[in-house]
């Protein structure tokens, strides 16, 4: 599609195209209609010739009295009506161009509808992926918190065990010292104990 866009733009700019490239444009339904319409516009623009405005006597056509003014109004209306008719002739397209344009409009509408459906499907997929990612993140967060709790509990338990071990060792050491003191007290005579 992008290749046909580039070929059509080259043709519009007046650059020469190969026979094969021109054939590709003419075989495409969309671009053949656009090509035909552009050719019609080019023919109309080349056939257009500007005509000089004739000189006229203003005083004879724009009189000052009321009789001539009513005739001037009629002439004004006639000129306005002829301008409207000419405008309608140039603005109203022929039936063939109208059907081509309506067919092209229908194709563009269908293309837009299909693209909108694709966008809607992509939005649904993206929403589902976002929800899945949120669930994974929630699960990972729960696991990280649980792991952190378990590690903290293990650290606290090891600290408690260390404190208990230290306490038991301190108690054992104090018992040994008390036993040593008790032995020393039993071995020494009472008079020596009183001096101390």
What pLDDT, in 10s, does the model give residues 122-157?
A: 999 999 999 999 999 999 898 989 888 889 999 999
Asked if 183 contacts 175 with a C-beta cutoff of 8 angstroms, the reply is: no
Question: How far is Cα 73 from Cα 67, in angstroms, rounded to an integer?
Answer: 10
Instruction: Let me know: does 65 contact 72? Beta carbons within 8 Å.
Output: no
Residue 97's pLDDT is 64
Q: pLDDT tier at 120 (50, 70, 90 boundaries)?
A: very high
pLDDT tens for 45-92 read 887 778 787 777 777 776 555 444 555 577 788 888 888 888 777 776
- Three-state DSSP class for 52? coil
What pTM does this model have?
Answer: 0.31
Q: Are 7 and 21 in contact (CB under 8 A)?
A: yes
- Long-range Cβ pairs for the range 184-188 (8 Å, 24+): none
Q: What is the mean pLDDT of residues 99-116?
A: 88
Q: Which bin fits 14, alpha (ψ -120 to 50), beta or left (φ > 0)?
A: left
Annotated domain spans of the chain: 1-43
Q: Where are the alpha helices (DSSP H) in the chain?
A: 2-12, 19-27, 29-47, 58-61, 66-91, 95-187, 190-195
């Amino acid at each position: 599609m992008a290749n046909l866009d580039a070929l059509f733009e080259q043709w519009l700019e007046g650059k020469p195209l190969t026979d094969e490239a021109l054939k590709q444009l003419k075989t495409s339904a969309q671009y053949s209609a656009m090509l035909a319409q552009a050719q019609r516009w080019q023919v109309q623009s080349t056939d257009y010739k500007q005509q000089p405005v004739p000189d006229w006597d203003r005083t004879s056509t724009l009189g000052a009295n009321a009789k001539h003014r009513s005739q001037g109004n009629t002439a004004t209306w006639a000129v306005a009506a002829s301008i409207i008719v000419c405008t309608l002739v140039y603005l109203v397209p022929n039936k063939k161009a109208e059907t081509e344009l309506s067919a092209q409009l229908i194709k563009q509408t269908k293309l837009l509808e299909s693209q909108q459906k694709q966008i809607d499907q992509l939005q649904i997929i993206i929403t589902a992926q976002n929800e899945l990612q949120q669930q994974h993140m929630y699960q990972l967060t729960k696991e990280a918190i649980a792991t952190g709790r378990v590690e903290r509990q293990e650290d606290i338990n090891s600290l408690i065990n260390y404190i208990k071990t230290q306490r038991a060792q301190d108690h054992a050491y104090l018992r040994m010292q008390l036993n040593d003191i008790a032995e020393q007290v039993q071995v020494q005579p009472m008079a020596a104990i009183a001096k101390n």
